[in-house]
Amino acid sequence: MRSLHKGKQSILLEHQPSILASYSVVGKKEGQGPLHSYFDLVSQDTKFAQSSWEKAESQMQLLCLQGVLNKAELSPSQIDMVYAGDLLNQCISTSFCLRGTDIPVYGLYGACSTMAESLSLAAMAVSAGFGEKVIAMTSSHFASAERQYRFPLVYGGQRTPTAQWTVTGSGAIVLAPDGAGPYIQAITTGKIVDKGIKDANNMGAAMAPAAYDTIRAHLEDLSLTPTDYDLIVTGDLGSLGKQIVLDLFQQEGVDIGSVYDDCGCMIYDLKGQDVHAGGSGCGCSAAVLCGYLLPQMIKGVYQKILFCGTGALLSPVSTQQGESIPSVCHAVSISAGRS
Amino acid sequence: MRSLHKGKQSILLEHQPSILASYSVVGKKEGQGPLHSYFDLVSQDTKFAQSSWEKAESQMQLLCLQGVLNKAELSPSQIDMVYAGDLLNQCISTSFCLRGTDIPVYGLYGACSTMAESLSLAAMAVSAGFGEKVIAMTSSHFASAERQYRFPLVYGGQRTPTAQWTVTGSGAIVLAPDGAGPYIQAITTGKIVDKGIKDANNMGAAMAPAAYDTIRAHLEDLSLTPTDYDLIVTGDLGSLGKQIVLDLFQQEGVDIGSVYDDCGCMIYDLKGQDVHAGGSGCGCSAAVLCGYLLPQMIKGVYQKILFCGTGALLSPVSTQQGESIPSVCHAVSISAGRS
């Protein structure tokens, strides 16, 4: 059962795993955005009854894990492995969430691309028969991210127009070899792309070339055109990064505008919610995929989507040392039916 | 080609990938230890001609990547994907190392278990046919780790007797579907184990129960006894953690002493090099495996080893918040011949 290995970066899965269940948890601000009615759990308490923001994020991820297990009617002991990670130093949200669950775990770091990375690796594991029930999961929290990457909240720092707002959210997916779908059809593994952007408050511009690079590789590797998808969705470039992706395709005469959107632009009302360029953070694309997009596929709104998680692989230290921002984008092709 | 999925945590690979090449880079102190003559590259300049410790670590990892590619006679464009990570916040050593190589990459965070984690995921990918040439890689650097996890070097802080010394080192392995071996036979994915140890200067005690848990699961899942291996090697518990693993097995009447060692105890002269409990850091087990153990297997010294990477999943923030240390251990069974 050797899977086809098409082109340089893409894998067309011979056995296409099924999504058994997806679950999303978000905070108060996300619960006031345009997708508010789609999330499985909206918490008005963004501290999730914990004593620190870091513990709050971990608790949120645990609620998401419990939620997806309930939805799939599975106990933790039935899960073969979890692929998960988050934005906090040493991925503590994930480690502390999974402590006590007794589920084998592979920790990941892909910055905001983590939902696509975890879904890629989980799909490979299930497709190859290394697990029967495998979870892909991630989270981010506005307050824990702000104080780690930028300033303590009480400092009241001004945000630049290109800055994005880290989503308080978590998403989790259970994959199995068979089921009613949607199905993971193909994955494209991202390369690290760095076009020299040094402004840590303009991650959309840093990540957009990585998104373009991976989407282009995916289409080329699998001989597809953009309109073979009902939706190509990046997560999360925000309004500026989204426009750069459109421009980069336009430059080679391809208009992807009719099928393209960005999770960072979808999760908030960009005009009314004071989030500047839009949402970011691992939890952004995770919550939009798990809460909104996958249920829409089940309803028949989309037949085929390309989910492209984008990550800015900077750290406060690399920024202080004057470095530019390396970025990555992993793409996962998801289909309502098996083709 | 469904792989056998034995027991809860272990996978016996049906198609067992071959190690095409391994490479190790270490710093000056490691070059003065008992394994000094085995490492592929010993740098007397621990700054690797860079302007910061973080850039030094990234450069060391790049030298390791170039070294393993040369040894395997491969160019970067022939590599399907890299699984890699490190200890620095946001894994910047890895991201900045891989920037410009054009190799598709999955970023990992497993603390000091990263060599075993990356090797596990690379072995699964190659075994299932998702890649023909896949690299597993990691690094750590004493100076970048000290200032991130503990104190700036110039502070001159005293170390406690149970403290370990972060290895300045990097290791990389190229896997392929076929070759002259050694071969990856099986993997066991670790669960997060936390026995309540809160002392961030006693990581050996925190990680030892995770090592015991995974080794036990591996032996049970695959119906093996410790002496089915010529060597069971943890990386890196240090002298105290090593003794705890021996004790935990002793408590159930199993003496693994004749086949058991720890990379953290092997890489330094514990009496002469002032490293207290021994070596730690992703680079420790990576350099010992790639520089010493795998070449010894090729020479026929070992037929079969169980490589058990151990990671303490703490962060300075979780320690400051009074949390205990969640730990993980991933095990990879490596054999000189295919069985």
How far is Cα A300 from Cα A298, in angstroms, rounded to an integer? 5
Between chains, do A90 and B111 touch, taking CB under 8 Å as contact? yes
**Would the pLDDT of A3 be above 70?**
no
Q: Classify residue B207 by burial, with Cβ atoms within 10 Å: 0-12, 13-18, 19+.
A: buried
Query: For an interface test with B, which of A16, A54, A99 has the most B Cβ atoms less than 10 Å from its Cβ?
Result: A99
Closest chain B residue by Cα to residue A104: B191
Q: How many CA atoms lie within 13 A of B53 on its CB side?
A: 17
Residue with tokens 């345009």: A34
Which residues on chain A are in Cβ contact (under 8 Å) with B317? 54, 88-89, 92, 148
3-class SS string, A178-221 = CCCCCEEEEEECCCCECCCCCCCCCHHHHHHHHHHHHHHHHHHH
Give the largest CA-CA distance in chain A.
56
Give the tens place of pLDDT for each residue, A231-246: 999 999 999 999 999 9
How far is Cα B132 from Cα A165, in angstroms, rounded to an integer? 40
Q: What is the mean pLDDT of residues A129-150?
A: 96
pLDDT for residue A315: 96
Could you tell me how many residues make up chain B? Answer: 339
**Would the pLDDT of B5 be above 70?**
no
Angle between helices B53-71 and B142-149 (to 10 degrees): 140
Which residues on chain B are in Cβ contact (under 8 Å) with A317? 54, 88-89, 92, 148
How far is Cα A17 from Cα A14, in angstroms, rounded to an integer? 9
A-B Cβ pairs (cutoff 8 Å, strict): 191
How far is Cα A133 from Cα A130, in angstroms, rounded to an integer? 9
How far is Cα A136 from Cα A95, in angstroms, rounded to an integer? 14
Domains of chain A plus CATH, in order, are 10-176 (3.40.47.40), 183-335 (3.40.47.40)
Q: Indicate the average pLDDT of chain A.
A: 96
How far is Cα B147 from Cα B330, in angstroms, rounded to an integer? 27
**Would the pLDDT of B156 be above 80?**
yes
Between chains, do A91 and B103 touch, taking CB under 8 Å as contact? no
Least Cα distance to B127 among B289, B286, B6, B19 occurs for B19
Bridge pairing between strands B327-335 and B183-188: antiparallel
| Residue A21 in tokens | 């269940």
Q: What is the mean pLDDT of residues A199-227?
A: 97
pLDDT for residue B47: 97
How far is Cα B25 from Cα B168, in angstroms, rounded to an integer? 8
pLDDT for residue B2: 43
pLDDT for residue B155: 87
3-class SS string, B312-329 = ECCCHHHHHCCCCCCEEE
pLDDT for residue A77: 95
Give the tens place of pLDDT for each residue, A89-124: 999 999 999 999 999 999 999 999 999 999 999 999
Query: Taking a contact as any Cβ pair under 8 Å apart, which residues of chain A between 66 and 125 contact chain B?
Result: 77, 80-81, 85, 88-92, 95-96, 98-111, 117, 120-121, 124-125
Q: Cis (ω within 30 of 0) for the bond into B326?
A: no
Which residues on chain A are in Cβ contact (under 8 Å) with B128? 1-3, 124, 127-130
How far is Cα A237 from Cα A309, in angstroms, rounded to an integer? 9
**Would the pLDDT of A154 be above 90?**
no
* A147 CA to centre of own chain: 21
**Would the pLDDT of B295 be above 70?**
yes
Which sign does the torsion angle of CA B103, B106, B109, B115 carry? Answer: negative
Comparing CB atoms, the residue among B91, B98, B317 nearest residue A54 is B317
Least Cα distance to B119 among B207, B178, B195, B184 occurs for B184
ipTM: 0.97
How far is Cα A326 from Cα B7, in angstroms, rounded to an integer? 40
Q: Do A136 and A83 form a contact (C-beta atoms < 8 A)?
A: yes
How far is Cα A26 from Cα A112, in angstroms, rounded to an integer? 16
Between chains, do A95 and B191 touch, taking CB under 8 Å as contact? no
Residue with tokens 């703490």: B314
Bridge pairing between strands A105-107 and B183-188: unpaired
Q: What is the mean pLDDT of residues B227-241?
A: 97
How far is Cα B232 from Cα B309, in angstroms, rounded to an integer? 11
Tell me the nearest-neighbour CA distance from B96 into chain A, angstroms: 7
Geometric angle at alpha carbon A195, from A193 and A196, rounded to 5°: 125
Least Cα distance to B92 among B120, B53, B66 occurs for B53
Which sign does the torsion angle of CA A152, B56, B313, B243 carry? Answer: negative
Give the tens place of pLDDT for each residue, B79-93: 999 999 999 999 999
How far is Cα B60 from Cα B47, in angstroms, rounded to an integer? 9
β partners of residue B187:
B11, B332
Tell me the nearest-neighbour CA distance from B202 into chain A, angstroms: 18
Q: Cis (ω within 30 of 0) for the bond into B80?
A: no
pLDDT for residue A2: 43
Query: Taking a contact as any Cβ pair under 8 Å apart, which residues of chain B between 9 and 28 contact chain A?
Result: 9, 11
pLDDT for residue A5: 57
Residue B81 host element (H or E): strand B81-86
**Would the pLDDT of B157 be above 90?**
no
How far is Cα B231 from Cα A326, in angstroms, rounded to an integer? 40
Q: What is the mean pLDDT of residues A34-63?
A: 98
φ and ψ at residue A173, rounded to 5 degrees: -135, 135
pLDDT for residue A141: 98
Percent of chain A with pLDDT over 90: 94
pLDDT category, A6, cuts 50, 70, 90?
low
- With residues binned 3-state (H G I as helix, E B as strand, rest as coil), the percentages for chain A, rounded to 5, are 35, 25, 40
Which residues on chain B are in Cβ contact (under 8 Å) with A95? 192, 313, 326, 328
Q: What is the mean pLDDT of residues B198-226?
A: 97
How far is Cα B259 from Cα B209, in angstroms, rounded to an integer? 18
Cα distances from A145 to residues A27, A140, A153, A168, A323, in angstroms, run 14, 7, 10, 9, 20
φ and ψ at residue A18, rounded to 5 degrees: -105, 145
| Residue B264 in tokens | 């953290």
